[in-house]
Amino acid sequence: MSTFERNSSAPPELDDIGVNLPAPADFSTALAEGFARRIGTLARRGGASGEAVKWAARAAFAASRATAEGHVCLPLAVLARRFDASSAEVRAALFASGMASDGSQSTAALRPLVIDGQGRLYLARYYDYERRLARSLVAHAGINTDASAGLNADATAQTLHERLLRYFGPPQDDEIDWQRVAAVMALSGRLTIVSGGPGTGKTTTVVGVLACLLDARADLRIALAAPTGKAAQRMQEALLARAGELPPELAARLPQTSYTLHRLLGSGPGGRFRHHRDNPLPYDVVVIDEASMIDVAMAAHLLDAIAPQTRLVMLGDKDQLAAVEAGAVFAELSARPAFTQSGLQRIAEALGIEAARLSEALPDVSSDFDQGADDFFAQTGAPDDSDTPLADCVVWLERNYRFGLESPIGRLSLAIRNGAAGAALEVLRIDPAEPCAAALYEDTHVTLADRTVMRLAAGFAPYADALAEALAADTPDPLPLFDALNRFRILCATRSGPRGVDQVNAAMAAQVRRAAGVTLAVGAQWFAGRPVMVTRNDYALGLFNGDIGIALPGAGGALRVYFRTGDGGLRAVSPAALPPHDTAFALTVHKSQGSEFQHAVLMLPSVFSRVLSRELVYTAITRARERVEVIGARAVLAQAIATPTQRDSGLAARIAEACRVV
């Protein structure tokens, strides 16, 4: 059963043809209903039969709801089963309605609905995104096979080897260093996809790659970007923090700014992006961080704007939460590394090792959690992995430099990633009396027990102490508060409800105010020490989605909200001037992506919810550097770990088609 089939309400009919629509349950449902009415009306005006009109409305509603739930498409069989029909009947009715096409048409000629050759139902816009993305990927990856185009003129294996030693240092041990493998791939080709969890050295890899490229070409044009402003800022800060490890002349040529993807592509007339296929980005290298957050629409626009000879390096974590919008592009593309024999030989020579040794060290992708990868490769039509269009483009970084994979957090993250709920529970200590690295506190009540609230409040005790000390000073210093806040954070699976972000934030705000002796006027929202997270980009103020600020009295005693700047300084903004924001003692797991805390707590709902998934639990767990706790029932946690995100997509099929076109 597909995720859509599990989660969605039954597709409705049009009320003006004898079937009533239910009252809209949410905004996306209302949009789907409006679209269904419109498609049904157009089909009827076009002379379609009543039965064909019904199926057109049903399909329009179902496809719209599927995209709202993160799917790019919907198996036609799912829709057929809901009404006890066969896929062949539904396909025939939809084509008869005049509202569906088979996807062979040009973009302008597509009907509102598309049914591909494998029986997937799309909104035409999403089919076109997927098709454009696939064609761009195949074209760009194809350049990797041309050594003369991929390598710099002087980048022989010996030159690459010397540059790796210069900018990555000597190997630490006899194990394969996958950061160096990724570097050789990025230096040898135009498309490189690097997947690794927190602490696996993605930033280190990028700094080394850029140093190698700048060593060969001083005038290299480089762009750094990420899906959100905060992620872009973090990438810039991380890169500059490592710049001191480079020779000063190279460090000075590293990019001094980073962009959101929207700013990178630019705004153009009619809502279009300024940069596209006919006006590509003017860079030699484009590095995209947090690529797992990119949806299929943005991915299509991004690849459209990459010039043929531009190196594109995409960094992310295939096991983290996917994009909020439709698609799980990065997870699909990085599902399984594949290498040609010539690619393995090239990498091995640059590393100074035997190709056979590198081949033997390739990651084992035979486990159950990579079943999706098998499906992806099978759909490309490739007889074996090395024949996939993305061969020599994908690499996994497995070694963790933040917490060793043998540490409790490391073992827990691996168990979750593998979908092994039993193994995960074995790592977690249940209701420990003393603090430990990985614990589960069983609180199964609908509302949090008092002892749970007190335990959470104790996590913010250092923050409350720092707040009290700051307020006792003549001029409060926000910097110690930022340090204290990053030691501990609560990550919630849901926004609403007694265990959601809103109520947990309210409870923690009251506890911190009480501990620090901060009063709050009746009905007032702001108080000294309130941490906030910006939820919408404000380019005029230079504040971005994900930025964290802390309220403290400024000159004259009025509250100001202080934000850290990229150079370690501070800037103050009036609370009234802030873009939309939320209190930030607790964050949703989605909002925590890219962040790290010494101690993190995952707050589960009291019963299993459709928002829970393996990827959500993994993302929350890997935010912690030293300690992680889960609050909830063992059964709920186990079910979440056993529930991988499954987003319906036809990207593999589109890539296979693009290969045939190319």
Q: Decide: 133 and 303 in contact? Cβ < 8 Å.
A: yes
557 is an annotated ligand-binding site residue: no
Residue corresponding to tokens 């070694």: 399
Specify burial of residue 456 (Cβ count, 10 A radius: 0-12, 13-18, 19+).
buried
318 is an annotated ligand-binding site residue: no
Residue 194 DSSP SS3: strand
Transcribe 379-435 into DSSP letters. HTT-SSGGGSTTTTTEEEE---SSS-TTSHHHHHHHHHHTT-HHHHHHHSEES-SS-
Q: Decide: 43 and 52 in contact? Cβ < 8 Å.
A: yes
CA 82/CA 1 separation, integer angstroms:
12
535 is an annotated ligand-binding site residue: no
- Tally Cβ neighbours within 10 Å of residue 131: 25
CA 322/CA 613 separation, integer angstroms:
11
Q: Which helix (H) or strand (E) holds 532?
A: strand 531-534
**Beta bridge partners of residue 120, listed in sequence order:** 75
Q: Decide: 521 and 633 in contact? Cβ < 8 Å.
A: no
199 is an annotated ligand-binding site residue: yes
CA 390/CA 367 separation, integer angstroms:
21
Nearest-Å Rg of the Cα atoms of the chain is 26
CA 280/CA 286 separation, integer angstroms:
12
CA 57/CA 520 separation, integer angstroms:
53
**Beta bridge partners of residue 74, listed in sequence order:** 121
- Tell me the pairing of strands 624-631 and 438-441: parallel
CA 233/CA 231 separation, integer angstroms:
5
569 is an annotated ligand-binding site residue: no
**Residue 73 CB partners (closer than 8 Å, separation 6+):** 63, 66, 116, 120, 121, 122, 126, 127, 130, 648, 649, 650
Transcribe 604-637 into DSSP letters. --SS--TT--HHHHHHHHTTEEEEEEEES-HHHH
201 is an annotated ligand-binding site residue: yes
Taking alpha carbons only, the member of 614, 548, 623 closest to residue 592 is: 623
CA 662/CA 72 separation, integer angstroms:
24
Tokens of 487: 């030691």
Residue list for the binding site for ATP: 196-203
Annotated binding site: 196-203
